[in-house]
Structure 1
Amino acid sequence: MPRTRAPRTHTAATATPAATSSGLLIIRVALGAVFLMHGAQKLFEYTIPGTVASFGEMGAPLPEITAPLVAVLEFAGGVLLILGLLTRVVAALLAVDMVVALVLVHAAAGFWVAEGGWEFVAVLGASALGLALTGAGSLSLDRPLLRGRAPAWLA
């Protein structure tokens, strides 16, 4: 007599590919929107000269170079995360951005963001690192353009 199997139930450990891709899309769009807005703030509200001055006051090295780089990375990186384009590379760069912000600016202020602490940059950095490790999922522009493969140096 042939064996019959019990119906398979899905748990967090056995999420469907569609659920995984949907979850990655939600994380990408939310994280991308936050980075996009912070980059836009640095570029258009504070302006580059204001962001350079702010970076200098915070003790960032070479603020004339790092401030514009960070502003553009956060703005363009946010757009690219939302689209799911070059996700692994962009997310890795944004994770580094958050580690530097944590170490140079936020660590000394303690944990709480209301006091200038590191809780918010830790969540942003961890989320970006997670995307760098997992990729964008199938609901992205990476899927058709890169076929889900990470660049060899990142894989």
Structure 2
Amino acid sequence: MRTRPVYDIAAVLARLGVGVVFMAHGWQKIEAGVTATSRSFDDLGVPLPTAAAVYSAFVELLGGAALIAGLGLPVTGLLLFLDMAGAFVFVHADKGLFMVDGDSVRNGYELVLALGMISLVFAAGGGGRLTVDQWLLGKRVRRPGGDPDDEDAASFVASLRAAETKPAKKPRSHRSAKRQPDPADKPDTPDKPAASDKPGTGDTPAGGEGAEDDVLVAGRKSQRRRTTRTQPMKRPSATGDEPAT
């Protein structure tokens, strides 16, 4: 199983080898001259041969040096990948895979394919930690005070994480939301009026046996009143001896 230091050392060796190859091809084009390189591209059918010659010569030379140093790897790797993609499409795609097949030079696409894919790996972050990019990033992080924008961004991210980890409150139902009445909070209610205060109940104070007697007496009075109403009135007879019924 590989470890991180071993991978970093392997990445440095890969960048060194690929960077040397790119620098050699770029220096070859510059040494031959941009004009001669553009004429060669024109003969091969490359569109915009002068612009393509300038691009390939300087991107390969400077990009190879940047690969070795590990400087701007995402951009450097992408530019070198585009350079190899153009070479594959316009020059080597119809020549087959091999550069040399037997005794004949076929100028196939095996080299540009390998260089393009490894450049894409470096652009995607496969350059390891032993790079100028990592050194500059670590120096910026260790700088006292730091960048205010970076601090604001870090605090914003921290607040978002805190909001995500904070448990959500359960919604309270209507029943649980209602506050149960506390007997201590119940307002003082005035005492009920005594039975003696009600009309027709007499002067006996409310409560106890007196109240019951009042109710009974009131009941008797009402009954007597009913019976009195139902009895016929006695009228004196003509002779005055017996009352007439």
Match of 1:52 in 2: 38
User: For 1:95-120, what per-residue CA distance to the aligned partner results, in whole angstroms no more than 9, with x for missing partners?
Assistant: 11111111110010011112111111
One-letter amino acid matched to 1:19: V
Per-residue Cα deviation, 1:2-27 (whole angstroms, up to 9, x for no partner)? xxxxxxxxx1xxx2110111111011
> Matched residues in 1 for 2:40 and 2:93: separation?
17
Q: Is the 8 A contact 1:88 1:136 kept in 2?
A: no
What amino acid is the match of 1:55? F
Cα offset, 1:146, TM superposition: 3.7
- Secondary structure of the equivalent of 1:85? coil
Q: Report what 1:97 is aligned to.
A: 83
Letter in 1 for 2:129: S
Q: Can you list the C-alpha shifts for 1:79-105, whole angstroms capped at 9, x where unaligned? A: 110111011210111011111111110
Q: Are residues 1:116 and 2:103 paired?
A: no
- The answer to whether the 8 A contact 1:136-1:142 is kept is no
Give the helix-richer structure, 1 or 2: 1
Q: Distance in 2 between matches of 1:66 and 1:145?
A: 32
Which residues of structure 1 form unaligned runs of 5+? 1-10, 148-155
Percent sequence identity over aligned pairs: 37
Cα offset, 1:55, TM superposition = 1.0
Aligned-pair CA distance for 1:134: 2.2
Counterpart-to-counterpart distance in 1, 2:10 and 2:78: 19
Separation (CA, whole Å) in 2 of partners of 1:58 and 1:111 = 18
Q: Which has the larger radius of gyration?
A: 2
Distance in 1 (alpha carbons) for counterparts of 2:24 and 2:136: 26
Match of 1:32 in 2: 19
| CA deviation after TM superposition for structure 1 residue 38, in Å | 0.2
TM-score by length of 1: 0.82
1:63 Cα deviation after fit? 1.0
Q: Which residue of 2 aligns with 1:41?
A: 28
Aligned mates of 2:45, 2:25 — CA distance in 1: 19
Q: Which amino acid aligns with 1:57?
A: D
CA RMSD after TM alignment: 1.1
The reply on whether 1:145 has 2:136 as its aligned counterpart is yes
Deviation at 1:135, TM superposition (A): 3.9
